[in-house]
Chain A
């Protein structure tokens, strides 16, 4: 029987346990966390915003097409765009995209430091490298990724509006009526739960891939790819589990 997956899981747990231990100097960790918030949050705003516009637009146009000729009121398009983006599309698609952008970046950054002996140099100085290199990234992601997802949800609803209202599928009033109908604040809670879980998964899994990289540039490339692939798989798996458990 192959126990490789258990070995990885055990090593991942040990790494995360070490990563969340007491910082040597809080101010250094705070500074690093702020830097990461800027990199992950501000650095991803454009791509997240762009994707969100198209998610909303495509959802709205496709529902307009599906509802055409049915007895379902047209204002339902606004309602469907709002709920589908809040519950599913904004957290999941945003985090899948961030796994590609942020996750691969984290794996490459930490992996590069491992290969250039920067991590060894820090270890010899007495720095808890797992904590200093991983904790600020995870904490920053846990703060900014839910915010990015919230922005994505808002922008998606706006994207739906610009796709269907100017094109004449429905009026401004109908879309706004749809967006305001049947609102359940629990869905917002669900969105933030998903965003938080996905943020943790994509940063910690990517950090693991980079932290234990061995070999040269080919292995670093593989680690970066693995970071994206495993993060995506785990995000989709977690998405399903959250859906089963919380809805």
Chain B
């Protein structure tokens, strides 16, 4: 579980996050949603330590992440996997080398063991026969899957996904969502996803927080989205007249 307590983040005079206190649960897909500029990416970067909060604390289970020294931070990060918006695969390495990189860096596994682990992770994300390809030689959806394979190769306890569906067609996006969800349940890990994809919200939102102007405007799960009368949530989720009509029709039933 990850817990934040009264997180504030300022960039000069710009107050981006204003007192975020929330929990991200183990074994669940925790979603951070909100409009562009709401502070989702900043919150995710704070959670993984790429930014430091101006005020407040972040706890990984009972460990205060912000009070850790550099060495302990690196040790804790070995339990963290992250899927980046643009995948962030090392473009001069093959798919296999990308996934193997954390194993090469942090384990004493033999070449054979590493190969087995890489193959397992690739199989887990339903990718075969791409080991020797470079990231530029595979599609965007495949790159995301390789990114997930790399993120889970060290068996992380915490998985972070920054806009995992951006740039993907709706069908592939659902495949990626389902993959993240099943990995979360299978490994009983804490998964935090930053998204504004409505299919993700309705499909895999076990625990959702809606950020609006740097504050939590709503929290709940995908089952509660439809019935909620929170205006900010409704304006965000059912932004178009088409979606509003769909919601009204669903509620009438």
**Chain A, 114-156, CB within 8 A of any chain B CB:** 116-118, 120-121, 123-128
In Å, the complex CA distance between A118 and B86 comes to 10
In Å, the complex CA distance between A182 and B173 comes to 76
Which residues in A have their C-beta under 8 angstroms from that of B49? 123-124
In Å, the complex CA distance between A25 and B49 comes to 22
Chain B 93-120 interface mask (CB, 8 Å, partner A; 1/0): 0000000011011100000000000000
Whether the pair A123, B105 counts as a contact (CB closer than 8 A) is no
B48 at the interface (CB under 8 A from A): yes
- Mostly, the B contact residues are mixed
- Among the listed stretches B23-31, B75-83, B199-207, which one makes contact with chain A, having 4 or more residues with CB under 8 Å of it? B75-83
A242 at the interface (CB under 8 A from B): no
A28 at the interface (CB under 8 A from B): yes
Report the minimal beta-carbon distance from A22 to chain B, rounded to whole angstroms.
Answer: 9
Report the minimal beta-carbon distance from A137 to chain B, rounded to whole angstroms.
Answer: 15
Which residues in A have their C-beta under 8 angstroms from that of B77? 123-126
Partner of B50, one of A118, A124, A127: A124
Which residues in B have their C-beta under 8 angstroms from that of A125? 77-78, 80, 101-102, 105-106, 154
State whether A124 and B74 are in contact (beta carbons under 8 Å apart), knowing that A25-B105, A28-B104, A117-B84 are contacts in the complex: no
In Å, the complex CA distance between A112 and B105 comes to 21
Partner of B88, one of A24, A28, A116: A116
Whether the pair A121, B88 counts as a contact (CB closer than 8 A) is yes
Report the minimal beta-carbon distance from B51 to chain A, rounded to whole angstroms.
Answer: 11
Report the minimal beta-carbon distance from B95 to chain A, rounded to whole angstroms.
Answer: 15
Chain A 153-175 interface mask (CB, 8 Å, partner B; 1/0): 00000000000000000000000
Which residues in A have their C-beta under 8 angstroms from that of B61? none
| Size class of the A contact interface (CB-based, 8 Å) | 10 to 19
In Å, the complex CA distance between A234 and B197 comes to 51
Which residues in B have their C-beta under 8 angstroms from that of A28? 104-105
Whether the pair B88, A120 counts as a contact (CB closer than 8 A) is yes
Report the minimal beta-carbon distance from A66 to chain B, rounded to whole angstroms.
Answer: 50
Which residues in A have their C-beta under 8 angstroms from that of B105? 24-25, 28, 125-127
Report the minimal beta-carbon distance from B105 to chain A, rounded to whole angstroms.
Answer: 5
B91 at the interface (CB under 8 A from A): yes
Chain A 96-120 interface mask (CB, 8 Å, partner B; 1/0): 0000000000000000000011101
In Å, the complex CA distance between A117 and B160 comes to 14
Chain B 15-58 interface mask (CB, 8 Å, partner A; 1/0): 00000000000000000000000000000000011100000000
**Chain A, 6-51, CB within 8 A of any chain B CB:** 24-25, 28
Of B49, B76, B101, chain A has the most CB atoms within 10 Å of the CB of B101
Report the minimal beta-carbon distance from B48 to chain A, rounded to whole angstroms.
Answer: 5
**Chain A, 157-198, CB within 8 A of any chain B CB:** none
In Å, the complex CA distance between A127 and B90 comes to 14
In Å, the complex CA distance between A116 and B88 comes to 6
Report the minimal beta-carbon distance from A122 to chain B, rounded to whole angstroms.
Answer: 8
Whether the pair A117, B88 counts as a contact (CB closer than 8 A) is yes
State whether A124 and B82 are in contact (beta carbons under 8 Å apart), knowing that A116-B91, A118-B88, A118-B90 are contacts in the complex: yes
Whether the pair B80, A117 counts as a contact (CB closer than 8 A) is no
**Chain B, 140-193, CB within 8 A of any chain A CB:** 154, 160
In Å, the complex CA distance between A118 and B74 comes to 16
Which residues in A have their C-beta under 8 angstroms from that of B76? 126
Residue in A closest to B90 when the chains form the complex, CB atoms? A118
Which residues in B have their C-beta under 8 angstroms from that of A117? 84-86, 88
Which residues in B have their C-beta under 8 angstroms from that of A24? 74, 105-106
In Å, the complex CA distance between A240 and B66 comes to 46
State whether A126 and B88 are in contact (beta carbons under 8 Å apart), knowing that A120-B50, A121-B82 are contacts in the complex: no
Partner of B84, one of A120, A126, A128: A120
State whether A25 and B88 are in contact (beta carbons under 8 Å apart), knowing that A121-B82, A123-B77, A126-B78 are contacts in the complex: no
In Å, the complex CA distance between A117 and B162 comes to 12
Whether the pair B106, A126 counts as a contact (CB closer than 8 A) is yes
In Å, the complex CA distance between A28 and B104 comes to 7
Report the minimal beta-carbon distance from B99 to chain A, rounded to whole angstroms.
Answer: 12
In the A-B complex, the 5 residue pairs with the closest CB atoms: A126-B77, A117-B88, A121-B88, A126-B74, A126-B78
- Between A and B, 24 residue pairs with Cβ closer than 8 Å are A24-B105, A25-B105, A25-B106, A28-B105, A116-B88, A117-B88, A118-B88, A120-B50, A120-B88, A123-B49, A124-B48, A124-B50, A124-B80, A124-B82, A125-B80, A125-B101, A125-B105, A125-B106, A125-B154, A126-B74, A126-B78, A126-B106, A127-B105, A128-B74
Chain B residues at the A interface, C-beta cutoff of 8 Å:
48-50, 74-78, 80-82, 84-86, 88, 90-91, 101-102, 104-106, 154, 160
